Amino acid sequence: METNFTRDTIYVDGQWVPAQGTGKIEVISAYSEQVIATVPQCSRDDIDLAVKAARSAFDKGPWPRMSAKERVAVIARLRDIIEQRQEEIAQAISAEMGSPITQARSIQASLPVKMLDEQMQIAANEYPWSEIRESVTGKALVRRLPKGVAVLITPWNAPLMTTIQKLGPALLAGCSVVLKPASLAPLSAYLLAEMAHEAGIPAGVLNVVTCDRAEAEYLVLHSGVDKVTFTGSTGAGSHLAAACGKILRPITLELGGKSAAIITEDADIPAAVEALKMLSFRNSGQICTLKTRVLVAESRATEFTQAFKAMVESLPVGDPSDPSTIIGPMVSEKQRDNVVRYIEIGIKEGLSLVTGGLGRPEGLNHGWFVKPTVFADVDQNASLAQEEIFGPVVTITSFETEDEAVAIANNSIFGLSGTVFSKDVDRAVSIADCIKTGVVEINGNPFGFHAPFGGVKQSGMGRENGWEGFESYVELKSIGLPRDYSPNAI
């Protein structure tokens, strides 16, 4: 990864053009604390050009008028280019936001390829782009047609994965796109634009702008936009949803989480602890689906806490470019300070500190690090059990009955993810059915990209992944037909 990634252009209408805005956004290494890149801070004029290009590509260009299989062929080329450049992508994401390089390779760079594989499979073979529906009240040709210009606002913690999660269905549906990556992690978006250009995605179908919040909101509310999707904080998502509501603009939101892992009395404790290594601490604790509340059956609480403590204390903390590192730095000084503030709150409230706590990890005199921290015997209403911390901080709470475990899991404003550990899978599924959350993983098993993903309550609105992920980018149109008419093709 080059140490200076300075760019003074943005990708608009199929070409790299100078930004009209004169400001710069600095990308600072979470490890060295030094500036490693600058990109333009776009002005409203830049936003206008990007939306104009996307609008023209949708209204006049070939992309929305291609068949789904023709679009799949183009996206397949993009998929292959991403696969070829995975190491470059991993290095860029590790450099810009501090993701440990081994996880950057296995998650940040490789999962987008797997996502595209499943998205293309759905688009080519499974999604009902057109269908005939007939009943006693009529006969209809039901079409799913591209919605229009889609704005994609993506987060810094998994920048390419969340982009592909949105971009794949949007493009395969025939939409054109304006992508606004997070200011803390814009580098992978530049790489994506290069790869999309090489793949032959038509001019204006993908546009990439880098800007701050004011210009981002201007983009969201732009009169040339038809659809918005946002992944980020609940506060920012709520604000954008309210603004979109005033103009009746559809928006999909994937927001915060405070997910629970339920450890039943019959659970395999060593297996659960091993699974929670990644389920609770992946990407240095900076993932919205992480299980940061561990609920343990009272009869197993001491055993689990001791094993969990040993696991956490074994996690290598350090340079994200070191393949052995599991816990890297927080993305920014502000994020580090916020995580430290929560650890201070836990100590001040008298929570039982199992491991970690305040101060830098040993041997690290630079970088925005915090110690992986665990508190036990935490009341379910404590701040640390209720508020999203977004760092390597986990609370442990015990329960006596299954109903109590479910009640504690549901005692949250969030409802994004969760997991149940039990040797009895039927029992675990029964518990999962009672948890008010968008996804639940039994014994840590992933649900895959063919299944819908999203949250309830303040964790968001709408779903991504699966064929349901396409629904946000299409408009349904019903055409009444004569009973004796059969279209040549649907």
**CB–CB of 252/462 below 8 Å?**
yes
Is residue 76 located within the same domain as residue 187? Answer: yes
pLDDT of residue 459: 98
| 1 confidence band (pLDDT: 50, 70, 90) | very low
- Strand ranges in 182-240 using DSSP code E only, listed in sequence order: 206-208, 227-231
pLDDT of residue 23: 95
Is residue 309 located within the same domain as residue 219? Answer: no
- Whether the predicted pLDDT of 43 surpasses 90: yes
Residue 451 domain flag: no
Is residue 274 located within the same domain as residue 162? Answer: no
Is residue 218 located within the same domain as residue 294? Answer: no
242-291 pLDDT, tens per residue? 999 999 999 999 999 999 999 999 999 999 999 999 999 999 999 999 99
Q: CA torsion 286→284→414→453, rounded to 10°?
A: 70
Residue 4 domain flag: no
Nearest of 129, 175, 153 to residue 252 by alpha carbon: 153
Residue 342 CB neighbour total at 10 angstroms: 20
Is residue 147 located within the same domain as residue 174? Answer: yes
Nearest of 161, 220, 191 to residue 465 by alpha carbon: 161
Place of tokens 């949708």: 58
Domains contained in the chain, number: 2
Among this protein's residues, is 134 annotated catalytic?
Answer: no
Rg value, the chain, Cα: 23
Q: How far is CA 465 from CA 119, 162, 261, 368, in A?
A: 8, 10, 23, 33
- Whether the predicted pLDDT of 5 surpasses 80: no
Supply the DSSP string of 443-457, one letter for each residue: TT----TTS-B--EE
Residue 364 CB neighbour total at 10 angstroms: 15
| 489 confidence band (pLDDT: 50, 70, 90) | confident
| 370 confidence band (pLDDT: 50, 70, 90) | very high
pLDDT of residue 7: 86
Place of tokens 């927080």: 330
Is residue 323 located within the same domain as residue 363? Answer: yes
How many whole angstroms separate alpha carbon 194 and alpha carbon 125? 28
- Average pLDDT estimate for 448-452: 97
Domain of 286, CATH number, reads 3.40.309.10
Bridge partners of residue 228, in order along the sequence: 151, 251
- Whether the predicted pLDDT of 2 surpasses 70: no
| 125 confidence band (pLDDT: 50, 70, 90) | very high
Instruction: Provide the residue range defining the domain that includes 318.
Output: 259-442
Place of tokens 């779903």: 463
- Identify the active-site residue in 118, 215, 254, 464: 254
Residue 21 domain flag: yes
pTM, two decimals, is 0.96
Q: CA torsion 181→182→183→184, rounded to 10°?
A: -130
Is residue 61 located within the same domain as residue 180? Answer: yes
**CB–CB of 372/316 below 8 Å?**
no
- Average pLDDT estimate for 380-393: 98
Our measurement of the distance from residue 54's CA atom to the centroid of its chain's CA atoms, rounded to an integer in Å, reads 24
Percent of the chain residues topping a pLDDT of 90: 97
**CB–CB of 456/441 below 8 Å?**
no
Domain of 214, CATH number, reads 3.40.605.10
137-164 pLDDT, tens per residue? 999 999 999 999 999 999 999 999 999 9
Residue 460 CB neighbour total at 10 angstroms: 27
